Amino acid sequence: MKKSAHLEPMDASLQVRQPGSTSISIIVPVYNEEEVLLAFHNRLLASMYSVGRSWEVIYIDDGSRDTSNKLLRQLHAVTPQMGVLRFSRNFGKENAMSAGLRMCNGEAVIIIDADLQDPPELISPMISAWEAGADVVNMRRRKRAGESMVKRATSYAFYRIMNRVSDVALQQDVGDFRLLSRRVVDTLNQLPESNRFMKGLFSWVGFQQVALDYDRNPRAAGETKWNYWKLWNFALEGITGFSTAPLKIATYAGFISALWAFIYGAYFLLKTLFVGDAVTGFPTLIITILFLGGLQLMATGIIGEYLGRMFVESKRRPLYLVDQYHPPRQEMASFPAAEHRAVGR
Ligand code: UDP
Ligand code: MG
């Protein structure tokens, strides 16, 4: 693996953070990762000891059904900097990340996957970028080994569409591997919505963002938790969460078809009046009915996508439920109040 990571030029007027013992938090969402957990943990430890700051790692067990939780408990017993939060069931990676952001105490917080696709060795250059003043350090994949052409093509299309229609600019080829400063984390924790499309929220907060390039490795072991149906729904979540453009499609499609109907109607009226041929035109009729029917269903469907999400938001359910929490034994700073730990809101 190449360790190269170059820092993009930044504004010289930025506030520079003093090196010292400021604490770093690492958040690791885990769902059925028994095959890689040990290898990941060891590489993380090696990387953290070379950083020379106090640190903690919070593993969020997103309702794993394999032996991940048992493994995490064993690692917890021998790693004083480690905390384990277990959800009552699988709530998804977005919610796992939200939980981690709420639980951690670090001045800088790094989110990293457990499958070793995000190399833990890059934590050190990420911290350097934060020390230099960045609030968000985005890790941009230079190459995506082990991912199919179709996945890369759909991902490319998604970013193109998202950036065209939404108000926030999503960074192409940046996943969830990133560093966030304390003020960014505090801002994210205050957001009330249950639609946690984190990639969008990370961009939405703004502040000083920099990007480091890295080569994304294939998964060390185990399987990806994503399939195309999940990715499609994830994309819908992102688009509906950050843009109302699809709703406008319905409006404009309506305008265009009304205009077309008016012109076409006038044509038939005149034709009937002057030529008197009223019976032909069955194909036109059937096409028109089907086209308009389809258009109406589509528009209703788009509205439904938004309505459904409003329904979910309005219930104000917690983002996740905690089954168990085992905090790090080596406390870095004061932990959040107990009620914040019990449920996700
Ligand atoms: N993950 C999770 N909950 C889920 C699915 C995945 O916490 O419901 C975790 C998973 O254990 C891994 C990270 O999210 O640490 C990324 O998952 P994966 O490697 O399957 O995604 P990909 O890298 O293929 O996008
Ligand atoms: Mg992965």
Question: What tens digit of pLDDT does each residue of 49-106 get?
Answer: 888 788 899 999 999 999 999 999 999 999 888 999 999 999 989 999 999 999 988 8
β-pairing verdict for 55-61 and 108-111: unpaired
- Does residue 110 have a pLDDT over 80? yes
Dist. CA 52–CA 19, nearest whole Å = 9
Residue 59 burial (CB < 10 Å; 0-12/13-18/19+)? buried
So what's the pLDDT on residue 22?
Answer: 54
**Is there a contact between 226 and 204 (Cβ–Cβ < 8 Å)?**
no
Residue 97, C-beta contacts closer than 8 angstroms, at least 6 positions apart: 27, 29, 60, 111, 176, 196, 198
Choose the residue to mutate in 69, 71, 93 for probing ligand 1, maximizing ligand atoms within 8 Å of C-beta.
Answer: 93
> What letter does residue 28 receive in the DSSP assignment?
E
- Does residue 109 have a pLDDT over 80? yes
The ligand 1 atom at the shortest distance from the C-alpha of residue 30 is 11
Average pLDDT, the chain: 81
Name the residue at shortest CA distance from atom 21 of ligand 1.
224
Question: What tens digit of pLDDT does each residue of 204-247 get?
Answer: 888 888 989 888 877 777 777 778 888 888 888 888 888 888 88
| 299 to 53, 158, 261, 281, 292: CA distances (angstroms) | 54, 21, 18, 27, 10
> What's the gap in Å between 51 CA and the centre of ligand 1?
26
> What's the gap in Å between 14 CA and the centre of ligand 1?
34
Cβ < 6 A, ligand 1 pocket:
29-31, 33, 62, 90, 92-93, 96, 113-115, 117, 224-226
The token pair at 29 is 């969402």
Q: Look up residue 124 and give its amino acid.
A: S
The ligand 1 atom at the shortest distance from the C-alpha of residue 114 is 15
Q: What residue has token string 């499309």?
A: 197
pTM of the prediction?
0.75
> What's the gap in Å between 299 CA and the centre of ligand 1?
33
The ligand 1 atom at the shortest distance from the C-alpha of residue 225 is 20
Choose the residue to mutate in 71, 178, 225 for probing ligand 1, maximizing ligand atoms within 8 Å of C-beta.
Answer: 225
Choose the residue to mutate in 31, 37, 199 for probing ligand 1, maximizing ligand atoms within 8 Å of C-beta.
Answer: 31
So what's the pLDDT on residue 278?
Answer: 63
Dist. CA 311–CA 317, nearest whole Å = 11
> Measured on CA atoms in the order 93, 95, 96, 97, is the torsion positive or negative?
positive
So what's the pLDDT on residue 284?
Answer: 77
Name the residue at shortest CA distance from atom 8 of ligand 1.
92
So what's the pLDDT on residue 146?
Answer: 65
> What's the gap in Å between 100 CA and the centre of ligand 2?
18
> What's the gap in Å between 115 CA and the centre of ligand 2?
6
The ligand 1 atom at the shortest distance from the C-alpha of residue 28 is 15
Residue 103 burial (CB < 10 Å; 0-12/13-18/19+)? buried
Strand segments, DSSP code E, in 62-153 are: 82-87, 108-111, 136-144
Question: What tens digit of pLDDT does each residue of 268-322 get?
Answer: 788 888 887 766 777 778 778 888 888 888 888 888 889 988 888 888 888 899 9
Average pLDDT over every residue of 197-204: 84
Residue 302, C-beta contacts closer than 8 angstroms, at least 6 positions apart: 246, 247, 249, 250
